Chains A and B, each alone.
Chain A
Amino acid sequence: MLNLAFTGFFVALLLAGLRRPFLWVLCYLYIDIVAPQIISWGFLSVIPTSLIAFVAAFGGWLALDGKEGTRFTWRQGVMLALLAYCAMTTLRADYPLPALEKWGWVWKALVFAIFLPLTLRTRLRIEAAALVMVLAASALIIDGGIKTALGGGGYGTLRIFVENNTGLYEGSILSCVAIAIIPIILWLARHSTIFPSDWRVWTFAVALIFACCLIPVGTQARTGLVCLAALCILYLRTARHRVLILAGMTLAAFAAIPFLPQSFVARMNTIENHEADQSAGTRLGVWKWTWDYARENPLGGGFEAYLSSRVEYDTVVRETTGELTTVRREHVVEKGRAYHSSYFEMLGEQGYPGLFLWLLLQASGLWQMEALRRRYRTQSAPEVAWVAPLANALQLSQVSYLVGSLFVGIAFQPFILMVIGLQCGLWSYLARVGTPQVKGDRAKPRARVERKMKVRPLT
């Protein structure tokens, strides 16, 4: 029955694309995020669903869709350069076969992120892409959220649909993505034209945000908690009623503590007391190893270069019984441990050039979204009132991801690359429709700023 439903849904999306080819792009977003071929064990698991959706999306755009206003932004160029560089490191990788395996999904994610902005020619398309990304991720988040609320979950044990550890089905990655989409959910609830803001939309949005917050609890991934804390602090930067929101957040945090599972509290305590934690010790050890490795291999060792890592460290455990404190030191040796950080993942696998390109891609996104936010924040006309909040949401989402990236190796996470694709699409769209009315004017600085704020009507 489930197989039939999945197959029917996929076919319906493909048929809908016959009328509006852009819907095939949304179909690919859905397939890539939910991965129904993993959940389903029937027809979809034997056909290359992802490939079909990509060919439909690309072919539809190439053959049937309009191209007016389509621009290739320089950030897409950065992604293209990163793709070419990754191809080069894959050819001379330390571990050719595992590297080829990772390359197999990285190139697809990068190519789609480069392609996505070309299709985002209208405001509605940008909104539709954001909506489908959120709704597709919501399938996993609602499932994980409800199971956590019902008492399920645990580190590496929260089962979302199936026993799987790939893509968003991995606890730490889902935890990071769930927190990163909260600003986009809020933007959609306020500014969506597909589901205009009303009590039903807000009910769903609030429930989904609550489920997002439950994911770090359910997966017991400390990354999610750190992302959430970073997001809360950053949200205050642009919030209107800062004191009220801060008070609300503090109250919610204290109110939530008694309801948190004991195992979650114990695991979160290791953030503070990291010396006793083997996972934290591994991270620090691998990061040191990667730093040394990059000095010897400045151009990177290709994908999965961490397989040659060897990490030695001591864990210190303090046990207090009455007035007596026992300090126990254990020497741990580990081999082939993953990077546990996107920054070190890039440094080890792609070397300094790859890390530079990746950082450029991320930093330019933060800068572009900040520029858009500042330029449009005073615009209240309905045609552009959505711009500054969306730029802010995409920026917060990215910052949240960058914070999570400190502790998880998700440098090429397809979902985040889609967010970058959205940023490029938004930037390109506004460069086309929101050009200042007066250019090159040498008037007084204040007058010039005011003119810069003016945008051409979208109609």
Chain B
Amino acid sequence: MVDIFALALSHGLIALAVWRLLQRPDLDREGEPPAPRRAPRGQGMRVPGLVAEPQSEEDAHTPPPGAPGA
């Protein structure tokens, strides 16, 4: 019983670590943005149309019309 518990706990944690590593781009290359994290409960809801999300990285860096330098 103790053997099973020790093996299950350690192997479970290794499996979880490997699963998390699979989601991390910085495992192979640094300087890349980390994978998006799941928003905490209650903060993740978005109303379509209320906030215009950038469709691409280029959009994200483009200043809005009328802003200085636009």
Seen from chain A, the residues whose Cβ lies within 8 Å of a Cβ on chain B are: 2, 5, 9, 12-13, 16, 19-20, 22-23, 26, 30, 34, 39, 65-66, 121-125, 128, 131-132, 135-136, 138-140, 142-143, 146-147, 150, 161, 194-195, 204, 433, 458-459
Tell me whether chain B's interface is mostly helix, strand or loop, or mixed.
helix
With A146-B5, A161-B7 given, name 9 new contacts (CB 8 A). A19-B22, A30-B14, A131-B17, A138-B6, A139-B11, A146-B6, A147-B2, A150-B2, A459-B30
Contact B15–A9 (Cβ < 8 Å): yes
Given contacts A20-B28, A122-B26, A124-B26, contact A143 B21 (CB under 8 A): no
Contact B22–A458 (Cβ < 8 Å): no
Contact A128–B28 (Cβ < 8 Å): no
A residues in contact with B22, CB < 8 Å = 16, 19-20, 23
Contact A20–B13 (Cβ < 8 Å): no
Contact B17–A9 (Cβ < 8 Å): no
Distance between A164 CB and nearest chain B CB, rounded to angstroms: 13
Q: Please tell me the number of chain B residues within 8 Å of chain A, measured between CB atoms.
A: 25
9 A-B pairs with least C-beta separation: A143-B6, A139-B10, A142-B6, A459-B31, A138-B10, A146-B2, A135-B14, A124-B27, A122-B30
Given contacts A22-B28, A125-B27, A161-B3, contact A142 B9 (CB under 8 A): yes
Contact A13–B18 (Cβ < 8 Å): yes
C-alpha spacing A318/B3, complex, angstroms: 42
Contact A16–B18 (Cβ < 8 Å): yes
C-alpha spacing A139/B13, complex, angstroms: 10
Can you list 17 A-B pairs, Cβ within 8 angstroms, ordered by A? A9-B11, A20-B28, A22-B27, A34-B10, A122-B26, A122-B30, A131-B17, A132-B14, A135-B10, A135-B17, A136-B10, A138-B6, A139-B6, A143-B6, A143-B7, A146-B5, A195-B13
Given contacts A20-B22, A26-B18, A143-B3, contact A128 B27 (CB under 8 A): yes
C-alpha spacing A326/B28, complex, angstroms: 69
Seen from chain B, the residues whose Cβ lies within 8 Å of a Cβ on chain A are: 2-7, 9-11, 13-18, 20-22, 24, 26-31
Distance between A42 CB and nearest chain B CB, rounded to angstroms: 15
Distance between B51 CB and nearest chain A CB, rounded to angstroms: 27
Contact B2–A66 (Cβ < 8 Å): no
Distance between A376 CB and nearest chain B CB, rounded to angstroms: 17
C-alpha spacing A15/B30, complex, angstroms: 24
Distance between B28 CB and nearest chain A CB, rounded to angstroms: 6
C-alpha spacing A195/B12, complex, angstroms: 13
C-alpha spacing A34/B14, complex, angstroms: 12
C-alpha spacing A135/B2, complex, angstroms: 16
A residues in contact with B31, CB < 8 Å = 458-459
C-alpha spacing A9/B16, complex, angstroms: 12
C-alpha spacing A138/B4, complex, angstroms: 13
Distance between A108 CB and nearest chain B CB, rounded to angstroms: 21
C-alpha spacing A9/B18, complex, angstroms: 11
Contact A194–B29 (Cβ < 8 Å): no
Residue of A nearest to B20 (CB): A194
A residues in contact with B2, CB < 8 Å = 143, 146-147, 150
